[in-house]
Copies of this chain bind each other. A is one copy, B any other.
Amino acid sequence: MANSKYEYVKAFEQPDVLLPNTWVVVRIDGRGFTKMCTKYAFEKPNDRRALDLMNAAAKAVMAELPDITIAYGISDEYSFVFHKSCTLFERRASKLVSTVVSTFTAFYVHSWATFFPETPLTAPLPSFDGRAVCYPSVQNLRDYMSWRQVDCHINNLYNTTFWALIQLGGMDNRAAEQLLAGTVSGDKNEILFSKFHINYNNEPEIYKKGSSIFRDYELVEPGTHNAQQEADASTEPPQQSKTQAEKEKKRRGKAAIVVHHLDIIKDEFWDRRPWLLTNKPGTVPKEI
């Protein structure tokens, strides 16, 4: 039985190749996590186990997809950055997005019991949606990352104050909401400190800064590289020998995938880790 009669339907598949030489960010978001927080009694304002589970799933995604150079996560969202020279899946958007989302979901569900050993999952299960966005220049990419980290800060400061008012101050949700309406950062810092003796600066970095995941090489001296300029100037496709590619792959394989809670807005973060922008693996740190 030949299938040729029906095969014309393949022609309806439309290409969705992402523009070459642009940074691809795949961002995933938890679906209906407000409900899930209640269902599984996540701690407020931050549940450390839930964040650690997100980070574990994100690390697993990075291990399976070496084309990802850096990932950044806050709350129930994670952004995965593919280097602008990446040609994985011929840069097809749906393939990139669905693979990241599926791999992340698989590890999230599978690792759940490790982080919530006493709370088994029941339907509806946690799930995530995703999308891919292209950024043409390093500055655009860094502004995207900064946008997410500023969001992390704004939300965390608000939530920390909000839940302090409720948990420590005995307010109800509505009263706390009204008190905070129209306040700026300074006001919230002041409330935390004067009412609850909480110095926001001493809050855990993971809550204030979110989590960055990347391959770890030796830090370089600032000013010795201009990774941003080098990255912007490079064209597509990379003119690289096979031997060179193999060598870099090997080095990448040796590098540890680490989770940090750093300021990724300032230049220093990027200046000292040029491999994040150039995609050239650095020197793997010697174990001590």
Known contacts A98-B101, A109-B109: A236-B125 contact under CB 8 Å: no
In the complex, the chain B residue whose C-beta lies closest to that of A132 is B94
Question: Which of B1, B105, B134, B232 is within 8 Å of A185, CB to CB?
Answer: B1
Whole-angstrom CA separation of A13 from B101 in the bound complex: 18
Interface pair A235/B128, CB less than 8 Å apart: no
Write the nearest CB–CB distance from A88 to chain B, whole angstroms: 12
Interface of chain A residues 201 through 223 with chain B (CB within 8 A): none
Write the nearest CB–CB distance from A1 to chain B, whole angstroms: 6
Contact mask A229-273 → B, CB, 8 Å, 1/0? 100111111000000000000000000000000000000000000
Q: What B residues does A237 contact at CB under 8 A?
A: 8, 11
Question: Which of B9, B15, B93, B98 is within 8 Å of A144, CB to CB?
Answer: B9
Count residues on chain A whose CB falls below 8 Å from chain B CBs: 77
Whole-angstrom CA separation of A112 from B17 in the bound complex: 33
Known contacts A126-B106, A229-B229: A95-B131 contact under CB 8 Å: yes
Interface segment, A19-27, A38-46, A169-177? A19-27
Interface pair B94/A131, CB less than 8 Å apart: yes
A7 within 8 A of B: yes
A75 within 8 A of B: no
A167 within 8 A of B: no
Question: Which of B63, B133, B136 is within 8 Å of A13, CB to CB?
Answer: B133
Whole-angstrom CA separation of A98 from B154 in the bound complex: 28
Interface pair B21/A136, CB less than 8 Å apart: yes
Whole-angstrom CA separation of A106 from B14 in the bound complex: 27
Question: Which of B17, B102, B153 is within 8 Å of A31, CB to CB?
Answer: B102
Interface pair B8/A19, CB less than 8 Å apart: no
Write the nearest CB–CB distance from A99 to chain B, whole angstroms: 5
Interface centre among A146, A235, A237 (most CB of B within 10 A): A235
Write the nearest CB–CB distance from A195 to chain B, whole angstroms: 21
